[in-house]
Amino acid sequence: MKRLLVLCLDSVPPTLLFGKLLEKLPNFRKIYENGTHGVLRSCHPPITVPAWMVMMTGKNPGRLGIYGFRHRRGSSYNEGYIVNSTHVKEPCVWDVLAEHGLKACVVGLPPSYPPKTIHGNLVSCMITPSAEKEYTYPLELKREIQRLVGEYTFDVPFRIEDRDGVKRHLFEMTERRFKVAEYLANNKSWDLFILHEIGFDRLHHAFWKFFDEAHPKYVKGNKYERIAEEYYSFVDERVGSLLSAIGEEASVLVLSDHGSKAMQGAFAINQWLEQMGFVKFVKKPDSVTEFDKAEVDWSATRAWGWGGYYARIFFNVKGREPQGVIPEQDLPAVKKELKEKIMHIRDPTGRLMQNVVFEPEEVYGEAIGDKPDLMVYFNNLDWRSAGTVGHETNYLSENDTGPDDSVHSMDCVFMFRGGGGGRRRTSQEMKGGNIIDIGPTILRLFDIRPPSEMEGRAIDLD
């Protein structure tokens, strides 16, 4: 194959891109109509970190040892760390291509800060603290970017009281990213070009309730009602311009790492664990308090949880945690007890929630690194997990820490259009793919046999 452009649209659900918005997006529609499209299943958990790295390495989160943006440090109670590029120990597709002399440009793919060496050029992702840091490989690429766009933007600062500001930043960020992408595409040598846009995820989390009529908080006629259409069209135009710049000979792959859907609420996991007798407080908080700041009686606490789009549960195990209480041999029974209780949680209307609870080893086989003991999806991720305590109820209609708009879903976008503008010139549907298949699929497109350690299988695009 000559060249491949991979457009990574963070958080874009097939229901939006292939659904009501497609007819308004001429460039994406052309890819859809002249190639292969389908729905990919995301990994567990369906979160930006680890999902993109599952795709690029062809390995599951357990083998990568990456379970979200943040990890607990070892077996400590309160210490955590942000997952960054150095935690990705497995080779990515561009590393495999490099061994064959092929070059890559990678822009924004999480986690890629701090920037690692690649055979080509790299601009790091939204976990970059600021543009003052070294965020490119090679280092001097940063100066070229500064000359081009001034201060490069990695992410959108989210403030609930300033949605106009969020909107402005969102469009500005994307404008700069595509300007950089077009510059790199035109001026650098590459075989594989990966461009990731985080803006979709930020749009969904900050504005979903304004444009989705099915959201419990949707208000007809609100000022952001058309924002999804505006943003998707804005990106579509820039994709069109990028595609013209690189020419029709290049193939194009369009992907998302997880989908999005309306958030139904947040479930206060630690409050519930306290009611079930798993968490004990020295003094019960009488106002909303972060769990880290609450006075927990660790000598009597058996398990606690983390907030996020899924819940992570940790057990307080003797000999493992600093003040562990559960003897190692009792752990399986305690796990079983808690799993059963989680499966009996009801929603505020009294209906049984469709919860999913699993141990990392059950889905991954091997699970390395700082993994949780249990992973929980409340009502198939419709409800997020809130770690805070001191609420009047376990069911929070407002998010305890931020926006209350969207949660993640398992469905991801897949589109492929071959070189020459799509030889097929007909639309074809692909079924049954998983994001772990992307690594092998990309290598196969370059006629490189995927290494046997890659778990996924190349998607047939002939």
Residues lying near other proteins in the complex (CB under 8 A) are found at 47, 68-70, 81-82, 84, 86, 97-102, 113-114, 117, 119, 127, 129-130, 133-134, 137-139, 155, 157-160, 187-189, 201-202, 205-206, 306-309, 384, 387, 399, 401-403
Backbone angles phi, psi at 285, to 5 degrees: -65, 135
Which token pair is 157?
């600062």
HSE-up (13 A, CA, CB side) for residue 366: 8
- Residue 278: CB minimum distance to other proteins, A: 21
Q: Which is nearer to other proteins, 140 or 462 (CB)?
A: 140
- Residue 50: CB minimum distance to other proteins, A: 13
- Residue 148: CB minimum distance to other proteins, A: 16
3-state secondary structure of 316: coil
What is d(CA 58, CA 455) in angstroms, rounded to the nearest whole number?
6
Quick count: other Cβ atoms within 10 Å of Cβ 174? 22
What is d(CA 220, CA 328) in angstroms, rounded to the nearest whole number?
55
Q: Which is nearer to other proteins, 63 or 384 (CB)?
A: 384
Q: Which is nearer to other proteins, 155 or 212 (CB)?
A: 155
- Residue 26: CB minimum distance to other proteins, A: 30
Q: Which is nearer to other proteins, 112 or 355 (CB)?
A: 112
CA angle 339, 401, 211 (to 5 degrees): 100
HSE-up (13 A, CA, CB side) for residue 308: 20
**Cα 445 from chain centre:** 25
Residue 293 DSSP class: G
- Residue 169: CB minimum distance to other proteins, A: 12
Q: Which is nearer to other proteins, 191 or 437 (CB)?
A: 191
Q: Which is nearer to other proteins, 206 or 342 (CB)?
A: 206
What is d(CA 360, CA 370) in angstroms, rounded to the nearest whole number?
11
Nearest to 45 by CA among 397, 429, 378: 378
Q: Which is nearer to other proteins, 364 or 446 (CB)?
A: 446
Q: Which is nearer to other proteins, 102 or 430 (CB)?
A: 102
Q: Which is nearer to other proteins, 47 or 54 (CB)?
A: 47
Q: Which is nearer to other proteins, 100 or 168 (CB)?
A: 100
Nearest to 13 by CA among 203, 236, 223: 203
- Residue 114: CB minimum distance to other proteins, A: 4
- Strands 70-72 and 303-306: what pairing? unpaired
Q: Which is nearer to other proteins, 10 or 437 (CB)?
A: 10
- Residue 217: CB minimum distance to other proteins, A: 15
What is d(CA 421, CA 249) in angstroms, rounded to the nearest whole number?
7
Quick count: other Cβ atoms within 10 Å of Cβ 8? 28
- Residue 415: CB minimum distance to other proteins, A: 26
Cα 134 to Cα 112, 130, 439, distances in angstroms: 12, 9, 27
Q: Residues 116, 91: contact at Cβ < 8 Å?
A: no
Q: Residues 252, 417: contact at Cβ < 8 Å?
A: yes
Please provide the DSSP assignment of 47-90 as one string: SHHHHHHHHHH---HHHHT--SSEEE-TT-SS-EEE--GGG--S
- Residue 86: CB minimum distance to other proteins, A: 8
What is d(CA 138, CA 154) in angstroms, rounded to the nearest whole number?
18
- Residue 331: CB minimum distance to other proteins, A: 26
- Residue 451: CB minimum distance to other proteins, A: 15
Nearest to 252 by CA among 234, 235, 260, 240: 240
